[in-house]
Structures are given as C-alpha cells and as structure tokens.
Amino acid sequence: MFQTIVPLFVDALANAALIFFVAFGLTLVFSVLRILNVAHGSFYSIGAYVSASIGLWIVSAGLNPWLTFPALLVSAALVAALFGPLIERTLVQWTYGRGEAVQILMTFGLFLILEDLQRLVFGVSSYYEDTPVALLGSIEIGGIIYLNYQLLLIALAVVALVAMRVFIGHTRMGRLLAVVVADREISEALGIDTRRMFTIAFTLGIFLAALGGALATPTAGVAPGLGADTMVLAFAVAAIGGLGQVEGAALAAVIVAAARVLAIYLFPALDAVAPYLVMLIVLLVRPYGLFGKPAIRRI
C-alpha cells in the first residue's frame, strides 16, 4: 500500500508545483485587471528559454555551477521587467473597458507575435539545461528515486503561496491591490493610482509565468509549441480554481496534477485527457470554478 500511494503522492505534488506558478500568474492578472491573457503561456516558454540560455552560458563560461540557481530567478525577473510594463502600457491598457472580445483578440494577436519571436530569437531546436538537477542529486522515496530538485519545487510553490498571502495581507502595496480587486471605482475615488496597480499586477503575473517556465527547465526540455500547450493547462487550473482565486489555483493545480498522475498509473491511455476531463466535470457542477463567484449581470 505504502509502496504505491507514496510515489503517487510525490508525483502529484511535483506535477502540481510545475503548473502552479503559471496558473497563479494567470489568475492574478485576471483578478486585478479582469483580463484573460491568452498570451500568458508564451511568457512561460520565454522564461524557460531565457533561463536555459543563461544556464547554458554559465556552464560554458566555466562559472560556478551553483550560479544556475539564482539564474532561474533572474531570468524570470528579466522577462517580467522587459515585457510587463511595455505590454501593459501599450496593448493591454488600450482594451480596458472595451469588452472581453477585444481583450481576448488583442492577447491572441500578442500570442501569435510572441510565438514567432521566440523562433526567431531562440531558434527551432530544443534546449536542455539540467545543472541544478545534477547538483542537488536524488533521494529514494517508497522505492522510487526522485530528484531533490522536484522536492525543492514543491517547497518553492508553498513558499510562493504563503508569500503572496503575506504580501496581500501585510504590505501597503498588497492591500492597495486587494482594494482594487474588491472595487475598482471606489478605489479610484479613494485616490489609488489604479493604472499603476494594473501595471504592477500584470508584471507580477508575467513574472510568475516566466518563473514557472524557468523552474521547469532543469527537469524538462524547451522547444517550440511549449507556450501553446502550457496556456491551456494553466487555463484549466485557473478555471477549476475559479478565475481570480489564488488559493483556488493552488488546490486546482493539485487536483489537475493528481488526475494526470492517476491516469498515467492506472489508465495511461487517458493521460492527456485527464486534466481537461476534470476541468469539464468541475465546471459542469460549478461553472465559475471551485472558489469562484458568479458574475453579476449588468443592466
């Protein structure tokens, strides 16, 4: 019993940690800006490409291999700083108040552009950079060898979740964000610079997507098409949790991951279907997600 349950559990959590960051970013952007960013997955793959490139450079330049760890974080920050304010201030800002069709189309256009930009910048062959995995070594749990890096990822996901709680509940900036989420008009009346809040939230969302991609690189290859695949998975997690619900995204990440892991263990023929099947079942019962609230119809 122990022999089969424990690996299932570890695998589910390791998988959940991998998709949590990107789904977290998607749901955060939605909660503040009320925009479903269709290009969100592209920032995941850009983060992955950048971190793999920096990692490969560190190794080839003969620098201390432990530098690849901070490089993961730095590359995500780099991507966020480069794209966040730029895209929010130009494309996204223009769509505020213009209806969701325009917002989805605008970000879909952005998705198409970013897909080709990645090909042009990073080429079309796969990247693989696993120095962090090699440095941390492995551990045997329940008779199966896991990577210590996978356990680190699980811990990091928990830390990110707690940090976000602390940020929202106990810092000035976080509280302002919470006010903007709760009521946009009132917060503007109170004199909060909502435009600045939007830029911050959007950039933070991109940072989380890029971080998700960067953290995934040591255990996965990076190749064209990664962004489109990640987008729908992140979307499934965010939708199950309830768009805009951070805790919901965390729980949903575990549910989706558990569904996929269970499928691989028990019905391998259905592995890729499992996340979406779970999503459909949840949404049939609770169309606004596990933690979501129905939207109010405007008159």
Partner 1 sequence: MPKPKFRLAMTAAAAAALMTGAGWAQDKPARLDLGVFTFLSGPSAAYGLPGKQGAELMIERINAQGGIGGVPVSATYVDEAQGAEGVIAEYRRLAEGGRAQAMIAALSSGNCLALSPLADQLKMPTIGWNCDTHQLFLKDQPDYFYRPNGNTIAEFMAYTLYFLQQHPEVKRVAIINPDYAFGHDAAEIVKATLKAVRPEVEIVAELYPKLGASTYQTEISRLSAARPDVVFSNLWGGDLENFVRQAGPRGLFRQSAVVLALGETVMQRVDLPEGTIVGVLGDGWWMSPDARTIGEAEPFAAAYREKYGSDPVFPTIKMANSLIVLKAAYEKAISDNDGAWPDREQVVAALEGLSVQTLTGTTTFRDDNDGVVDQVIGTVGRAEGVDRPVMTGMVRYDGEALLAPVGQDPIAWIGTLTPDFLADLPRPGSYN
Partner 2 sequence: MRKPIPLLVAALALLLLVPVAFPHLKFVITLAVAKGFAALGVALLLRGGLISLGHAMYFAIGAYATAFLGSKAGVSDLVLLLVASTAVAALAGLVFGAFLVRYRAIFFAMLNLAVSMVIFALTSKLYGITGGTDGLRVAVPTVLGWAPGKAAFDGFLFYLCILLMVVLGWLVHRYLQSPLGHALSAIHTNEVRLEYLGVSAWQTLLTSYTISAALAGLGGALAAMSIGHVLPEFAFWTESGHLVLTAVLGGIGGVAGAFIGSVFLEILHTVAVGVAAEAWNLIIGLALICVIFFLPRGIYGLIEARRGSTKETGL
Q: Please give the full DSSP string across 219-276, using - where no structure is assigned.
A: GS-B-TTHHHHHHHHHHHHHHHH-TT-HHHHHHHHHHHHHHHHHHHHH-GGGTTTHHH
Cβ distance to partner 1 smaller for residue 160 or 261: 261
**From the CB of 132, what's the least distance to partner 1, in Å?**
11
Q: Does 115 bind partner 2 (CB under 8 A)?
A: yes
**From the CB of 60, what's the least distance to partner 1, in Å?**
15
Task: Please say whether the beta carbons of 133 and 147 come within 8 A.
Answer: yes
Among 7, 65, 85, 174, binds partner 1 (CB under 8 A): 7
Cβ distance to partner 2 smaller for residue 37 or 217: 37
Distances (CA, A) of 209 to 2, 120, 137, 184, 256: 35, 21, 26, 25, 18
- For residue 280, how many C-alpha atoms fall within 13 Å in the half-sphere facing its CB? 5
Helix (H) or strand (E) holding 128: none
Mapped onto helix, strand or coil, the DSSP state of residue 159 is: helix
Q: In this structure, what DSSP letter does residue 138 have? A: E
What track of x and - describes contact with partner 2 for positions 225 through 244 (by CB under 8 A)? ---x--xx--xx--x---x-
Distances (CA, A) of 120 to 15, 38, 75, 233, 285: 30, 21, 19, 25, 43
Q: Does 121 bind partner 2 (CB under 8 A)?
A: no
**Closest C-alpha to 82, from 211, 217, 203:** 203
109 binds, options partner 1, partner 2, none, Cβ within 5 to 8 A by partner type: partner 2
130 binds, options partner 2, partner 1, none, Cβ within 5 to 8 A by partner type: partner 1
Mark the segment that binds partner 1 (CB under 8 A) among 33-41, 69-77, 101-109, 259-267: 259-267
Among 62, 97, 99, 268, binds partner 1 (CB under 8 A): 268
Q: Is 172 exposed, middle or buried (0-12, 13-18, 19+ CB in 10 A)?
A: exposed
Mark the segment that binds partner 1 (CB under 8 A) among 11-19, 156-164, 169-177, 190-198: 11-19
Among 70, 119, 165, 193, binds partner 2 (CB under 8 A): 119
Among 104, 223, 277, 280, binds partner 1 (CB under 8 A): 223
- Residue ranges in contact with partner 1 by CB under 8 A: 3-4, 7, 10-11, 14-15, 18, 119, 124-126, 128, 130, 133-134, 138, 143-147, 150, 216, 219-226, 260-261, 264-265, 268-269, 271-272
